[in-house]
Structures are given as C-alpha cells and as structure tokens.
Structure 1
Amino acid sequence: MEEKDDAAKDAFYARLEDTYDRCPNHDVKIILGDFNAKVGRERIFDRTVAQFSLHETTSNNGFRLIDFAAARNMVVSSTRFRHLDIHKATWLSPDQKTRNQIDHVVIDGRHASSVMNVRTFRGVNIDSDHYLVAAKIPIRLCRAKNVRPITQRKLDVTRLRSQRTATAYSTHLSELLHQPTPLPVDAGGLWAHISHSMRAAAETAIGFRRPPTRNQGVSRRSCGKNAAYRRTLQSGATRATCERYREKRKEERRLFRRKKREKEKRECEELEVLQDRNDARKFYQQVNRLTHGFNTGASNCRDENGNLVTDTQCTLRLWRAHFSKLLAGDDGTNPAIGGSNPIPPIDDNVDIPLPSHDEVRVAIMRLKNNKAAGADGLPAELFKAGGEELIRCGHQLFCRIWLEESMPNHWNLSVLCPVLKKGDPTICTNYRGISLIAISYKVLSSVICERLKPYTSTLIGLSVRLQTWQIHHRPDLHIAPNPGKPTKMELTHTISLSITKLHSIVRHENAYMPPCLSSVFLQS
C-alpha cells in the first residue's frame, strides 16, 4: 500500500475505523494483517509500539498505523517482544536480500497483557513472499460445552439404479418390517419403526456418498517442494539450494496447470456424453457449476442498522424474524400456521372411506426422483424401491392417521433452506426460503389430493384461461373456441386444485368448505 496515493490510504483507514466502531465494547478486538507499515523504535511511540521493532525509523504507512492504534488505545503487539531479527521479519524480497517487518498484530490496550508472544515462523511453507506470523493469546473460555451440530450423511441413492442393489435393499427392508415383534399402536410409533427400518436397510444396501479423494501425485510433489524449502532455511544454504527450491516450485505449478487442463478436458467430455444421453438434469447442473463456480455461504448477517451480527442466537433471531414476516399475511398473521381465531373442525357424520392399498401404491410411484429429502433424510427413491412390504406398512400408517385424525410429530418438522436471490449475502431480506418436508407427508398429501379432485371439479367451478401449449397436459378438459380472442381458449371444465403445488397461503376463514369435504381434512 506504500505506492498507493493518499486518497486510497485515507479511504482504507476510514473503512477500518467504521468497522472497528461497530464492534461491541466488551469484545476483544484484534486487528492483524499486512499493513505494509514499518514501525520504528522512536521513544515517543513507546506506549504503542515498544522498543523491539526490526526497523529504526517509521515509514509513512507506519505513522498511519500508529495514529490509528493510539487514537483507540490499541497496542502493536508484534514489536513488544525480544526476538532474533530472523524471527521479526515478515517479508522477504525476491532477491533474498531485504527483509522487512510489515505484518502486525494490533490489540486493544485493555487486553494487551493477554498476548504472551508474537513471532515469525519461517519453516512453514505457505508459498508466499511473506512468512507466517503467529501470536500466542491465552483466552478464558466459557465452561459451557459447545457441541458441534451433527449433520446427517446423505445416502447414495444413485446406486439404486442397479437392479441388484435395488433388490438387495427391498429384500433387507422387507425382513426388517416383517419382524414378529408387535407393532406400535399409535401412528407416531409406527412411523418411527418404518423410518428406522428404511434407514438401516439403506445404510446396509447402498451406503453413503463418498467425499472426493485427493490426488496422490500432487501430494508427493508438494512434499518435495516443502522439503526443498526447509533446506533453504538452514544456515549453510547456498545459491544452488535456492535454485533447486525454485525449480520445485516451477514443477509444482506446471503440474497444477497440466492437471487443470486434464480436468477441463474430462469435464467437456462428460458434457458431451450427457448431451448424447439426453440427460438434461446433470448436463445443466454441470454447466452451472462450471460457469458460476463455488459460492461460499454467509454464516453471519446484518441487522436493520447495518451492523454485522456474529452471535449465533442473535443470528437465529434475525432469520426467524425475517421468515416470520416473509411467510405472514397482510395483517402479520398466518392462518395456515394458526391465527387468533382458529376454525373449529366440523363433524357432519359423513363416512369417508379409508385409503386403499392401490391408492398408496400409486401415490408412492408418483413421487419424483432427484428431490431433496426432509428432516428425516429419506429421499423419494427409497420409498419407490421399498417394495410391497413398505407399501403395506405405509397403508397401515395412513389408515391410522385417517382414523385418529392426527399425524406423527416428526412430520411437523421441515428444513428451511434460505436461497440468495440478489444483492449482499449478509442481508436477510435478500433471501427467499424453500421448505423441505418429509417425503412420507407428500405421499399422504397426494392421496388426499386425489380424493379431493372429484369434489373440486363438481363444487368449486372455476373458469380459467390457458395457453394452447398448456391444454395438451389436460386431456380430460373440453375446449370451446373463443371467437373474440383466437389466440386463447376458454375452458368449460374446472381445473383441479393441487394441494402439493400451492405456493400462496390460503385464508381459511374466507374460503368456503362444503360439509361433505370437512371430514376429509385431517387435524395435524
């Protein structure tokens, strides 16, 4: 930053001051990095930088750093410890002759005594002209145990494409479900037995997805380069030793470029194979991955005032407030979740037949592949490959839910995935949410949807206009031409309402529910 003009330097320190002022007063504030600032040993700066710097005089950037630290009662800890000069230098010039101390660790004066040591470690090869700077700071941590959240491992459902693997999974699942032990009486216990059996059979038959392995050839070249770098740090290192290290670096870079070209060639060949197979899903997935690259998610967010929030509980509260407002109605209440005046259930003494075995089979086979699983981690492919025994147990489960008019508590859980639409990733309002519900709940919704289609076609009577290309998806509709607008056709038949594809919240207090449909809706 020494070659930059004064306007760029002023803008940098102004932004740094603004970020520092936003931090809470009780936090331990540490600023570290490459300031490109030489701090001298002038006596006037003893309170801020002490007397153990590598340089005698202070540079222009050094004065800026000292002014920033002194104005906020901060201390430059990297110049407060007595070390050898080789343990003070943080940057080495390309000609291997000039060494400067331009990387610093700055901490607020209240916690300056917590810094036990700051020094440079030359032995660590970070493939840079800067050395690694380490600070030893003992911090008294909270006694509360911070438990790392356990994430579910994803099952490798692509192996079910093999008929042998699918048969092994179906056979093992049938054995687990057909155990002689008595089944639970309630719906929650029955679903727990089914889900546990499905996961155990899937783990045995298909296993989990494997993480990508590292290239061993690249690892061996990196080890050779690191060994050559350590030899250059020895006291008797010659010019030939440094040249060998440079050659090792060049070899490693050539290897990286060659591996990159080979990978790009393989990816292009894979795209051609996917195009020939007419596999549009994987083709566009790989195209998006190659064009967009890897985007890291934002673990922190900003509040309404623009301040960065790092506390976990405060971050969760901000996300909760955002999605509560996003999913609420016009008056701030969501009748689908529960309003101030819930509608009592209507009992009209109308007998609704239980779901049949064939209805459950059709609903399971109607599930789409390659969809994300819910909170239980069971994708749709496991249900479709489960076999007749799984359909029989699912039929028993749905009959109990139908009679008890209550669903398992696990079905009330959903995974809310925030999707960034535009703008700054640290602002919650730039996200929209996708709720991932359990696949078993989708099966029950599909059964209810098929039951409601005849009633909706007869009682609701909507008149909707569709484009010409949409009509081919509904062969049961009778089309009458509209002479006024020849580009559109008016449907004289009603369109069935699909429960599983509603994206807006229905106002139940404003909707009309016929008595014959009231007992179809179940109380969750």
Structure 2
Amino acid sequence: MLDYVLVNRKFRSSVQDVRAHRGATGGIGTDHHLFRAKIRLHLKCRRKTEKKYRLRLDQSKLTDNCLVSAFQIDLANENKSIRRDNKTLSVNEKFTNFVNSVLERGRHYFGNNKSIHKGGKEWFTPELKEIVDKKAKAYVDWQLHRSTTNENKYRNRYRTLAKIVQNKVYARQHAYWEELSIDIENAVKVHDPTTTFQIIRRLRGNGQSINRMAVQDKNGLTLTNSKDQLNRWKEYFDEMLNVDTTINEQVLQQIPSPTLHDEELSRQDAVPTVDEVVKAIGQIKNKKAPGKDDVPAELLKAGGHYIAEWL
C-alpha cells in the first residue's frame, strides 16, 4: 500500500507493526512513500466430520440364489461365533453386533460398486470419467505453462483430449438411448406396462412442476396468479381439515370397552416364533428408506430364517 494502510475494525488488534520506507520509491520520481504492515491472524480450525453413506444395493444381485445362500450361511456362522464368544452382552450391544454384521455382509454380497457421476447421468460410465479427468488435468497443465516454450505442446494435448471426450460422449449417449428404446420395445411386446412406465418416469425426472398445475376456484374458474393459487390451497385445506364437531360425553361412555380372554392374552404375550418373525419381515415393503439402523428391508428378506433366528 502507498501512504496509508486500511484495516477493518475486526482485524484492528491484529496489526503488530507499520513502517514507512521513504527511500524505496525514490528511483521512480514520485512523492508517495511505501508502507509495510505486519498483521498476525488467528485462523480457526474446522473439524472434518465423517460423512455417513447409506448402503446402496444392487437389485440384480438380490435375485442371485448363489449370493443369497452365501449371505445366509455367512450370517449363520457369524451369529454362532458371537453367541459363543460373547455370552454376557447387553441387548443394545447384541443389536449393534447384529446391525454391523448384516450391513458388512450385505455390502460385500449385494453392494452396488458402480461408479456414479456427481450429476447422476446414467450414461456416464467409468471409462468416460477417466478420460474426462485426463482432459481436466491437461487443461490445468496448459494453464500452468502459459507464455512458455511448452505452451503449444500442452495446448495441443488438451485440444486432442477435448475432441476425444466429445466424440466418446456423443457415442455413449447414442448407445444409451438405443438401449432404452430396446428395453421399452421389449416391455411393450411382452405386455409389461409397469416396466415401460418405470423407464419413462425415470427419464422424465422428478415429476410435474407445481407451478404448471392448473388450480381452480370454487366456481371452476382457472386461477393464473400465484398468490390467488396459494390462497385457494389454503382455503381448500382449511375447509377439509378443520371440521366443526361436537362430542357427547354420554355417548362415549356408552361405548363398551373390549375385553380379552385369558387365552387370547397369553397368546399375545407369548414370545413370537421364527415363522411369525419371517412373516412380519416379508410384509415390509421394498425400496423404502431404512430406519435409524440403516438396514434396508431387502437385506432382512434376503437373510430369511437366519435373520429371524438372530432377531
């Protein structure tokens, strides 16, 4: 800085020394003086938090009977070893061992090892990612060698890789759409509309935009203003959810309370059998978000009786 130094109030106490060098600018014929400021900053260290990733399953591996059998046998052996070695564990410790064992073996047998691009493009393959990374590195090398004797060399290398990436991306996109067209055509031929519409919905994206949905008032007139549409939604839910009701306490007291026989109570209080646990696991829906333990329903179903016995 020349003549003076501007310091923010936040860093005013960080300035340790300011000096003027009067002879530093004497050779260039100016009446300004060079100032030097010494500042000491204390930077805060931000702790890196470990990001937890959920288990991604390959649905095609879950239908492989060999992998499912190996998964079940491995779980059975692990359950026997844990029961033999750790007989004094608490319930929470046993459940933690169960979750860790299921997730570890599920990742080993049914984990999805496919590399997925950050943008989520299905046609983006690992081969394309490798060549794109090479192109990015070539561009950085070109920028680092600007105004040098090797600039033409790195520039030509970058342009060559950029052309290769362009051709490969075009070819891969063309092949990708051809594959999807064949899948849709085959699904239509075998009268499988479910698969057809699944592919179409996947290609369409997240669904219809709310801003494009037509909203009508009570008289059937279409509302075009966003403010009027929000007021109409508010009015609709207010009328639907806020219903005036009157409760008669005498009527509530006349409702008989259900009573259970001793036999039914003993049946409900009994420890569930393995078959009942297997039946309950089979009723869980697939492709749903797992609970706090991050164990998906597909892994529980793949374990069969071995999972039920462990539970």
TM-score w.r.t. length of structure 1: 0.34
**Other-structure match for 1:271:** 180
CA RMSD across the alignment: 4.3
Aligned equivalent of 2:62: 160
SS at match of 1:215: helix
Judged with a 3 Å threshold, the aligned counterparts in structure 2 of structure 1 residues 385 and 184 are, in CA distance, closer, same or farther, namely farther
What is the percentage of aligned positions where both structures have the same residue? 17
Q: In 2, Cα distance between the equivalents of 1:386 and 1:282?
A: 28
Q: Deviations over 1:89-124 (max 9, x none)?
A: xxxxxxxxxxxxxxxxxx84643877xxxxxxxxxx
1:138 to 1:261, Cα distance in 2 relative to 1, 3 A: farther
Whole-angstrom CA distance in 2 between matches of 1:359 and 1:378 = 20
Q: State the distance in 2 between where 1:139 and 1:253 align.
A: 43
Give the Å deviation of 1:385.
Answer: 0.8
Letter in 2 for 1:261: Y
Which of the residues 167, 170, 189 maps onto 1:261? 170
After superposition, residues 44-63 of structure 1 pair within 5 angstroms as 47=4
Correspondence 1:337-376 to 2 at 5 A: 350=262, 351-353=265-267, 354=270, 355-376=272-293
- 2:130 pairs, out of 216, 225, 236, with 216
Distance 2:198 2:88 in 1: 42
How far apart are the structure 2 equivalents of 1:142 and 1:250? 42
What amino acid maps onto 1:360 in structure 2?
Answer: V
Hey, what's the Cα distance between the residues in 2 that align with 1:187 and 1:224? Answer: 56
- Look up the match of 1:393: 310
Are the aligned partners of 2:56 and 2:111 in contact in 1 as well (CA < 8 Å)? Answer: yes
Letter in 2 for 1:365: G
- 1:99-153 Cα offsets, whole Å, 9 max, x none, are xxxxxxxx84643877xxxxxxxxxxxxxxxxxxxxxx9742347x724134145
The 2-side partners of 1:255 and 1:291 are apart by 34
- Shift of the 372–273 alpha-carbon distance from structure 1 to 2, 3 Å rule, reads farther
Matched, 1:191 2:95: yes
Amino acid at match of 1:154: L
For 1:156 and 1:377, locate their aligned partners in 2 and report how far apart those are by CA, in whole Å: 12
**One of 2, 5, 11 as aligned partner of 1:111:** 11
Tell me what 1:426 maps to.
none
Matches within 5 A, 1:50-449: 108=8, 110-111=10-11, 139-142=41-44, 146-158=47-59, 159-179=61-81, 180-181=83-84, 187-207=91-111, 209-212=113-116, 213=126, 215-234=129-148, 237=149, 247-248=156-157, 250-275=159-184, 276-277=186-187, 278=192, 279=195, 283-284=199-200, 286-289=202-205, 350=262, 351-353=265-267, 354=270, 355-394=272-311
* Structure 1 residue 244: Cα displacement: 6.0
In the TM superposition, residue 185 of structure 1 has moved relative to its aligned partner by 7.8
CA distance in 2, matches of 1:173, 1:108: 63
Counterpart secondary structure, 1:385: helix
In structure 2, distance between residues paired with 1:377 and 1:166: 20
* 1:375 partner SS: coil
2:44 and 2:291 map into 1 onto residues whose CA distance is: 34
Question: Would the alpha carbon gap of residues 139 and 366 (structure 1) be closer, same or farther in structure 2, given more than 3 Å must change?
Answer: farther
- Aligned residue for 1:283, secondary structure, equals helix
Deviations 1:458-486 (A, max 9, x none): xxxxxxxxxxxxxxxxxxxxxxxxxxxxx
Q: 1:363 to 1:257 in 2, by over 3 A?
A: same
Partner Cα distance (2:160, 2:47) in 1: 44
Residue-by-residue CA offset, 1:219-265 (whole Å, 9 max, x unaligned): 4444445444444422xx5xxx7666665554444334323323322
Quote the residue 2:229 is aligned against.
none
- Pair 190,165 (structure 1): closer, same or farther in 2 beyond 3 Å: same
Q: How many angstroms apart in 2 are the aligned matches of 1:167 and 1:352?
A: 36
5 Å-filtered alignment, 1:475-494, equals: none
- The CA distance in 2 between the partners of 1:154 and 1:187, in whole Å, is 24
Q: Which has the higher contact order (CA 8 A, sep 6+)?
A: 2
- CA offset at residue 379 of structure 1? 0.6
Whole-Å separation in 1 of the counterparts to 2:41 and 2:204: 44
Q: Which deviations, in whole Å up to 9, do the C-alpha atoms of 1:287-333 show, x marking residues without a partner?
A: 145999xxxxxxxxxxxxxxxxxxxxxxxxxxxxxxxxxxxx99xxx
Give me the whole-angstrom Cα distance separating, in 1, the residues matched to 2:11 and 2:160: 46
1:386-437 C-alpha deviation (Å, 9 max, x unpaired): 022222233xxxxxxxxxxxxxxxxxxxxxxxxxxxxxxxxxxxxxxxxxxx
CA distance in structure 2 between the partners assigned to 1:288 and 1:108 by the alignment? 51
Aligned length: 215
Deviation at 1:187, TM superposition (A): 4.7
